[in-house]
Homo-oligomer: A and B are copies of this chain.
C-alpha cells in the first residue's frame, strides 16, 4: 500500500536503548528528504520504566506526530498491552513470541496484523548482546515498508563508528537479519512510502535548535545545573573549545544565574537553561539582572509541576510564573517558540533583545518541544544577526563623563564592557542614581523606575504580533502558544479539508503584551477557543488581563502529555 504518511512506534523497557533506536529510525527518513517528527516517552528512572518512541514520517509537510500508529514494534509484552489500541485499522504489530503470549491480545484486535519476529533468537544465534534486538527490529521495520536497507546500514555505521568495526558489524548484521526475516516471511510490502525529492534534511530537537541559535548569536558563556533541558548543557560542553565558549556545570542554580550575570557584565553574551525548580531558584538572580540592567537569556523548559512533579514529561504550566517571576516590577521579554525552527531564530532574537534593552529574556520550551526531533532543510544561520545595542567596548567610544544609568529618552543607557578605561561604575542591585551609587530618595526612585520601564515603548514596537495561520475568515479561531502549534496546525489542516473552518492565532511573544494590536485581531463574532497544555488556561488569562476579552472555550490537557491532533479535532468539534 502506497502511503504518504506513516507512524511507527517502538516500545520496551527503560535502559535498552529505545531512545537511540528511535532516533536512528527518524534519521534514515530525514536523510532522504522525508518529513519526520518524533516524540519519546520515558520515566524518571534509569531502569525499569517503560520507554516509547513514536515517529511520524511523511512525504508532505507535517507539524506533529499523531495518534494512529501503522507499525508498533513491541520489544516487550507491556508495549502491546499499553499501545495496541493506538494501532490503526489494518496496522501491524511486530513482536517476539519469546516475550509474550500473543493469543489474548489478538482476540482484542482482529482488525490488525501481528507479525512475529524472533528477536532474541536471532540475536542469540548471532552471538550479539541482547540490546541489539533493537537493530533486528529496525531491519524488520525497514523491510515492512520496503525501504532501502543500505540507508539504515549507513546510519548505523555513522553512529556506532567510534565503537570499532566489530560492534558496527554486529549491529549491521543484526539489522540485516531482521530485514531478511520479514522479506522472507511476508511476500507483499505492507506499506510503501511515496517518493519525495531526496534532499537530505536535518533532524533537530528544540534543545538542539536553541543551542545552535545561541552559538550563532555569539553566546560565550553557558552555565547550567543538570536538569531538563540538560542536553543543551551536554551540547555546549561538547563544543566549548572549538567555539570559544565557557560551559560551566555549576554547584546550583543560584550560582548558574549569577555566574551568567557576571559574564554578561564584563561583556560576554551569556545564557542559562533550566526547568521549573531551577527557574524558581533563579528568581532572585533574574531580579538582579533586571536591577543592574545586565542582559541575560534564560531558557525555561516546562515540565509537569509543582515541585519535582513529573520530570520527564511535558506541560505548559509556567507561563504566568515566567511573566510575573521575581520580586518587584521590571521589564522582561518572554518568548515561546512553537517548533525547533522558531527555537533557532528566536534564540538569536533573544540575545539581541537582551542586549538592546539590557533586560532578562526568557525562552519558554517544554519537554515535548525540547526533546522531539523535527526535520528541516538547513537553517539559514545568516538570518541570525548580532545587534548588541548600546554597548561601548572601547575606551574611545566613551564620550565625556560616563554615567552607567544615564536617564536617556528611550530609557536605555549606554553600557560598557567592564574593564575599559573611563567606564568605571557600580552595577548596583540596590536602587541607584545615574552613576550607580546607592540612592534612596523618592525623587531618584521614581526617575529610575520610569527610566527602566520606558524601554517598553521601543520594545513593544519591535516585537512582532502573534502569527495567524489558516484562512482569515474562519469560523473558529484557535488561540495558542508555544509547542501546541504543531498539533493545532495538523488539526486545522484536517478540519479545513472540506470548509474554511478553523484558523490559529499563535503567540511566540508572550510578554510584553501589545494589548492594542491584540484587541485589533479579536473577532468577537468568531468562536474563539484556547488550546493549552495546562490546567488553568494561562494564555486565556493573559489575554483577558491585557484586553479584557474572555475566551470561554478551552481545550486543555494536563496529563503530562502533549496534544495529539485528534484530540484537538474532537475538542473543536464539540464547540457549540
A contact set with B: CB distance below 8 Å:
43-44, 49, 254, 275-277, 279-281, 283-284, 286-288, 290-292, 302, 304-313, 315, 317-318, 320-321, 323-330, 429-431, 438, 440, 442-443, 445-446, 449, 453, 534-536, 538, 541-542, 544-546, 548-550, 558-561
Contact = CB atoms under 8 A, between A and B. Distances in A.
Contacts of A309: 291, 328, 429-431
Contacts of A546: 544
Which 7 A-B residue pairings sit nearest by Cβ, starting from the closest?
A: A305-B328, A276-B327, A306-B328, A287-B306, A291-B307, A545-B545, A442-B559
Contact of A313 (B308, B440, B535): B440
A430 B310 CA distance: 6
Contacts of A542: 545
A291 B308 contact: yes
Nearest to A252: B254
A317 B549 CA distance: 25
21 contacts: A49-B440, A254-B281, A280-B327, A284-B307, A287-B306, A291-B305, A305-B328, A306-B326, A306-B328, A309-B328, A311-B430, A313-B445, A321-B324, A321-B325, A321-B326, A329-B535, A329-B538, A329-B558, A442-B559, A449-B535, A544-B545
Contact of A318 (B44, B315, B327, B445): B327
Given A445-B558, A548-B549, A329 B307 contact: no
Interface centre among A291, A315, A445, by most B CB within 10 Å? A445
Contact of A43 (B440, B538, B560): B440
A276 B291 CA distance: 13
A512 to B, nearest CB: 11
A339 B323 CA distance: 30
A275 B287 CA distance: 13
Contacts of A321: 324-327
Contact of A277 (B281, B284, B318, B560): B284
A330 B276 CA distance: 13
A310 B550 contact: no
B310 A288 contact: no
A535 B445 CA distance: 11
A304 B49 CA distance: 48
